[in-house]
Structure 1
């Protein structure tokens, strides 16, 4: 039998998958209970209010941001080569679920929760800038790279590449689009003598995992 923490985690997962595509502004507690496939009585055993539900979703995002750190051991060129696929994987996981719709509704309805998650995102962006600047100094990345624009590009592109309508209109699917975007990033960021080495890293299993997940949610 599942324990209380596992049951709660499953409830949060169900509501998260709903609100990232449809939003939460108009949801009432009875709606949330239906989405979580539990009774209202069961819902209130775990959450006393809608804000508490949304706070739990935000806490899940923040925990992810804190757990999957941007590479910080930046003394060796090998660190950038081996660490970049993980870095890409984390960005897809983050921006594939922290949608603009979710972030915008947080800002409008729960500014305290918006501030909490935006503070963590800003810190992650700061770490990413350090990562890119160190790579430029090591001769791993192109010297002309603008780290702030790369961060913005990732957010915009990943958001587009999980949008089923956009993919359909352009004859794409999640798996191929994410694979091609990874290769595009590598050629855009790494100097030529290293880009081929990064492109040889097998990303199939990870990208397929996201393709299955995004096909189910979106």
Structure 2
């Protein structure tokens, strides 16, 4: 039963990300998995229980090691993250967060707090590592820049604040422009040269 439940949670998470929460009903879920609503309610007592489990799954799935030495240096790690989130940007439905905020405020704050802390901690660790590797400028303030990055992700790339339109937020191009601006601001000449090599390789892979 648990294996079946986990399978449902994983696939419903994808639908929530793609379509938003409100657009996916319990009837839709039961129909998709070929089960009755009675059976579905044996797994989840109501839609809020389903949403809660999906949110917990999404949080757990993002609990990966960003600053992983096996990936390479600090810039390698930044590019690896870019590759990881690129497909997510294209499918992510920002109505999901808006619906969480309106209908499930406790869950929304859990997601928001998780994202804010994780973005800040990962950025801070990456900046310190990059400085130690002479890839990032020694005069930058990791704490201050980490706060700016939190704002960039949580506000600049959120259509709710009307800074960019939703279609722009879903575009990898916007993320790449912001990342490029960021890297030009923090890199040493050696770091910037290495960063440009990596991005050129990505462009060549995309065009080939």
Provide TM-score, normalisation by structure 1. Answer: 0.64
The residue number in structure 2 matching 1:71 is 67
Aligned residues: 193
| 1:125 and 2:124 are equivalent in the alignment | no
| 1:30 and 2:27 are equivalent in the alignment | yes
Q: Distance in 2 between matches of 1:161 and 1:93?
A: 19
Equivalent pair of 2:52/2:107 in contact (CA under 8 Å): yes
| 1:101 and 2:69 are equivalent in the alignment | no
Tell me the CA shift for residue 50 of structure 1: 0.5
Equivalent pair of 2:89/2:171 in contact (CA under 8 Å): no
| 1:141 and 2:155 are equivalent in the alignment | no
| 1:152 and 2:128 are equivalent in the alignment | no
- More deviation, 13-22/33-42: 33-42
The residue number in structure 2 matching 1:43 is 40
Task: Decide whether aligned partners of structure 1 residues 19 and 72 sit closer, same or farther in structure 2, where only a CA change above 3 A counts.
Answer: closer
Tell me the CA shift for residue 200 of structure 1: 3.2
Q: Considering only aligned residues, what root-mean-square deviation do their CA atoms show, in Å?
A: 4.1
Tell me the CA shift for residue 110 of structure 1: 1.6
The residue number in structure 1 matching 2:58 is 61
Task: Identify unmatched segments of 5+ residues in structure 1.
Answer: 168-172, 209-218
Provide TM-score, normalisation by structure 2. Answer: 0.66
The residue number in structure 2 matching 1:192 is 189
Q: Distance in 1 between matches of 2:44 and 2:206?
A: 34
The residue number in structure 2 matching 1:215 is none
Q: Deviations over 1:170-198 (max 9, x none)?
A: xxx967x3895487254454333222323
Residue pairs, 1:148-187, within 5 angstroms: 148-154=147-153, 156-157=156-157, 165-166=167-168, 177=173, 180-181=176-177, 184=180, 186-187=183-184
Q: Distance in 1 between matches of 2:176 and 2:21?
A: 32
Task: Decide whether aligned partners of structure 1 residues 55 and 191 sit closer, same or farther in structure 2, where only a CA change above 3 A counts.
Answer: same
